[in-house]
Structure 1
Amino acid sequence: MKIGELAQHARVSTKAIRYYEDIGLLPAPRRAPNGYRVYEKGSVDRLLFIRDAQATGLTLAEIASILDLRDKGETTCHHVLDLLERHMHDLDAHIKALKKTRRQLAELAEHARNLDPSKCTDPNRCQTIIHHESVKGATASRHVHKRPARHTHGA
């Protein structure tokens, strides 16, 4: 099957197919005498797997690690579980950080609601933001702000 047919069956672009070939996710196809790529039917399943794995949040490097195991005839279940658990851990850390940010925004909004307009004398400075900076500065000395580490295994 030609690249256009493969793209249609797998619901991906021809550009994505060429990219996956370039990075080794999809084996290079044989070439017809006219130079056209000719793909095997198994390429559709492989592309569908790549697309579905990306939809779960796996990176292309992580997907490559799964495909490498599968191509060697090894089981992938434990490896996939490890990858998914790492992603869930990262998401939990991100959700925690987002909730903290939301609480801070709610506090700022409450401060803005209760702000005395007579204190808004400087057109170049927002009293709500000034309040935020003074609160943030006071708490920064008590808290060390760290971003959650991103796992880049296999990247």
Structure 2
Amino acid sequence: MKKLLATSFMFFVIGGPSSINALAQKTMPKLPMDRVYQGPIVLPDFKGRDKEFSYYRTRIREEMKTGPNFAGHYAIVVIGCGTACRFAFMGDVANGQVYHFPYGGEENYGMDLRFNVKSNEVAVRWVSENNCLQDHLVWNDYQFNNQGVLRLGDRDFCEAI
């Protein structure tokens, strides 16, 4: 039984389908998200615990009301801040807590996020100083851990995707 579990786990970690590159597949611990939260949506407490996010409360609430879109019970909320400028927050739809997202704003021009409800990974791509950069983040239920920024090519590479 242990051998079967180990083999299944290795298939999932190394050989299973993924939107990330081979290097990241070998270094990122993945959490299987076999269940998606189906309970009542809990919205943030913008007068208490989540007060620092209250300026964006309408956008955060609206996205969280649609249900989880990341890691089983979280909603990633992407907000525009100008031409190709984006930043993000993440809210737990099960308890309403809002978290900062580690990338965004003018420092991460043209930020593009790739994520899904059944994975705890986020691929982040952006332009900085005419370079197309990418990082893979892993959410561990407390914080995002980055796997290292990679240069993918010139600015045009990001804009072509």
Q: After TM superposition, is the score higher than 0.5?
A: no
Q: Which has a greater percent of helix?
A: 1
* Structure number with bigger Rg: 1
Q: Which has a greater percent of strand?
A: 2
Q: TM-score, normalised by structure 1?
A: 0.29
Q: TM-score, normalised by structure 2?
A: 0.28
